[in-house]
Amino acid sequence: MVYCAKCGTKNEEEASVCAKCGQPLHVSTRRKRRSDDCFGPKADKKDDECFGLPHGGAIAGIVFGIIIVLLGLAILTGFDIWAYIGPLIIVVVGILIVAGAIYGMQRR
């Protein structure tokens, strides 16, 4: 039996595509560079993944956009946010990495 790498469906050994989702079962061993998936030129593909999350590039963009908006608001109000920016970015990236790892474990 061959399991689909995308949806996990069990398929017959001689099958070339998944019976459930249509994903090719026997893919080449050549791997794409990570930069092609994350904010790269192929960001318009259906299976867009970054940080191990589906649509992770969009999630990261939204999170960093919110950080920029908060930074702008802090400057406008005179709040000293510079002491919080570095740790905030580290926390956000850490959360994205952990979420990607958890999502990846659940997919398998």
Domain segments of the chain as ranges: 1-30, 32-107
Could you read off the pLDDT of 21-78 as tens digits, one per residue? 888 887 655 555 544 445 555 544 445 666 677 777 777 778 788 888 888 888 888 8
Q: How many CB atoms lie within 10 A of CB 42?
A: 12
- Residue 27: predicted pLDDT: 62
- Strands 10-11 and 49-50, sheet pairing: unpaired
C-beta neighbour count of 53 within 10 angstroms: 20
Put simply, whether the predicted model's pTM sits higher than 0.85 gets the answer: no
Which pLDDT score, from 0 to 100, does residue 22 have?
87
User: Given this model, what pLDDT does residue 58 score?
Assistant: 74
Looking at residue 25, its pLDDT comes to: 85
Say if residues 74 and 81 touch (Cβ distance below 8 Å): yes
Q: CB 15: neighbour CB atoms within 10 A?
A: 16
Q: Which helix (H) or strand (E) holds 70?
A: helix 56-77
pLDDT of 14 over the 60 cut: yes
In the chain, the amino acid numbered 34 is R
Supply the pLDDT for residue 64: 80
Q: What is the pLDDT of residue 44?
A: 47
Pairs from 80-89 (Cβ < 8 Å, separation ≥ 24): none
End-to-end Cα, the chain, rounded Å = 16
